[in-house]
Structure 1
């Protein structure tokens, strides 16, 4: 069975809204990778997913789907990691797409970059701190950034919040993770609190807007798209999972892109 993924990381969906698996590709394919359950991920080279089905999913909306996350990560690794970073020789990927070998026989694996992301709430848990990325405007989301060499993931989150918002945080707690195959990242989710209503430090300029939002205000704010860990964390906060002060249902604002 094949999972066909086009150049935009989109794929056909079946009637059940799950990724559509086909017995054999009817279009040209290039890169392939073996997935669990006897499924082969394959890159379409002469068609778009929208040409194969009226219902299409993509790597963003299905980021938490294990098969999709695995497929996109392995295809992307083969397409972008072509030379051994140690000796510069061409890499040859095995049939699984999970490991490559250099000319000297050295093993190279798909790259995974750890990235921290999380909910920052005020001391009493009634508001959440959200930012709008200057390079990807149009929606507000959780504070996030990559882990630097030599850092713990907790320290990385503290640093990112300080650099991007000028707030110091405490009660940093790990709450979950999500692979984000589009950038070969592993998103590590946190919750934390701050006593800083306003910034106390110089900002790095990565965010064009930083706002506080209450649960009542969230439905009027364009938020990170559904399927992302950012949206999940915001919704969990809105349900009171990190403060224990609210148990209602959350209806989010318009999705970002």
Structure 2
């Protein structure tokens, strides 16, 4: 079976939102880049026009970020991206040749090169003693509100990276940083690692780096009025879990 993927990771789905699969590779042999994803499924790079020609009634082409929690789609997008961005061995500049699986590359020196994963951190910052979390609007993606996030730097652990990102982007200091969960984010070749934390800094205590155009403390009822990170992202999962935990506690208390 073959999973068609668009030039920017787009995924064609049927009317129910299920990704489409092809029983055979499209076009003549070697017409499309193909990478093995699982033992019985390969990913095939196709143009948007080709994807649209495959759509059944009610089908559509979906942004890959909607499938952030889908391991198969995430792996397919990531492996195709790796294959297209890895043309030469970074050690000696020799052309890379891919092994039979289409995943592992080999240069002139025989060194095996595996797909790269860039760790990133993201998380909830809750104001101490209050039921509010800190959300921000990114300067490049300002149409929705999301959690504080950023890439891990060399020489720091994940908790340190998250605390640094919060300080740089919002001017707040955090404590009690705890692991929440993780999610592959194939669009950028990342692994998103989620944390929860607490701060006593309602207002910034230092300068920020300008990555966020706005930050805001938000209560649970206020979330319903804000455009949030899309479903399928770890940010959306963390925000909605925080919101729903309060509803579950309140319902349990009321039922007593």
Equivalent positions of 1:136-175 (< 5 A) are 136-175=141-180
Residue 65 of structure 2: SS of its match in structure 1? coil
Deviates more, 1:13-22 or 1:195-204: 13-22
**Distance across 2 between alignment mates of 1:46 and 1:134:** 28
Relative to structure 2, which stretch is displaced further, 42-51 or 66-75? 42-51
Worse-matched range after superposition: 157-166 or 43-52? 43-52
Query: In the TM superposition, what are the counterparts of 1:208-223 in structure 2 within 5 Å?
Result: 208-223=213-228
Q: Which deviates further from its counterpart, 201-210 or 15-24?
A: 15-24
Q: Who is 1:127 aligned against?
A: 132
The number of equivalent residue pairs is: 245
Kept in 2: contact 1:116–1:187 (CA 8 A): yes
Cα separation, 2, equivalents of 1:237 and 1:24 = 44
* Alpha-carbon contact 2:26-2:32 (below 8 Å) kept: no
- Which position in structure 2 is the counterpart of 1:112? 117
Shift in CA distance, 41/166, structure 1 to aligned 2, threshold 3 Å: same
Contact 1:73/1:184 (<8 A) preserved: yes
Does residue 19 in structure 1 map to residue 19 in structure 2?
yes
- Residue by residue, what CA displacement relative to the aligned partner does 1:47-73 show, whole Å, maximum 9, x if unpaired? 342231133333111111111001000
TM-score, normalisation: structure 1: 0.90
State whether residues 3 and 22 of structure 2, in contact with CA within 8 Å, keep that contact through their aligned partners in structure 1. Answer: yes
Q: Distance in 1 between matches of 2:243 and 2:131?
A: 9
User: Is 1:228 matched up with 2:250?
Assistant: no
Instruction: List gaps (5 residues or longer) in structure 1.
Output: 250-257
Alpha-carbon distance in structure 2 between the residues aligned to 1:161 and 1:199: 10
| Cα gap change, 1:238 to 1:31, in 2 (>3 Å) | same
1:193 partner SS: strand
* Mapped partners of 2:2, 2:112: distance in 1: 27
Larger radius of gyration: 2
- For residue 253 of structure 2, what is the aligned residue in structure 1? none
**Higher share of residues assigned helix:** 2
Tell me by how many angstroms 1:85 deviates. Answer: 1.3
User: What RMSD over aligned residues (CA atoms) do the two structures have, in Å?
Assistant: 1.7
Which of the residues 177, 183, 198 maps onto 1:178? 183
State the distance in 2 between where 1:96 and 1:174 align. Answer: 34
CA offsets 1:154-192 (integer angstroms, 9 cap, x no match): 000000000000000011001100111111000000000
Taking the aligned partners of 2:38 and 2:135, their CA distance within structure 1 comes to 37
Aligned with 1:76: secondary structure?
A: helix
TM-score (norm 2): 0.90
State whether structure 2 residue 90 is matched by structure 1 residue 89.
Answer: no
Q: Is the 8 Å Cα contact of residues 123 and 195 (structure 1) preserved in structure 2?
A: yes
**How has the CA–CA distance of structure 1 residues 76 and 36 changed in structure 2, closer, same or farther, with 3 Å as cutoff?**
same
Unmatched 5+ stretches in structure 2: 251-256
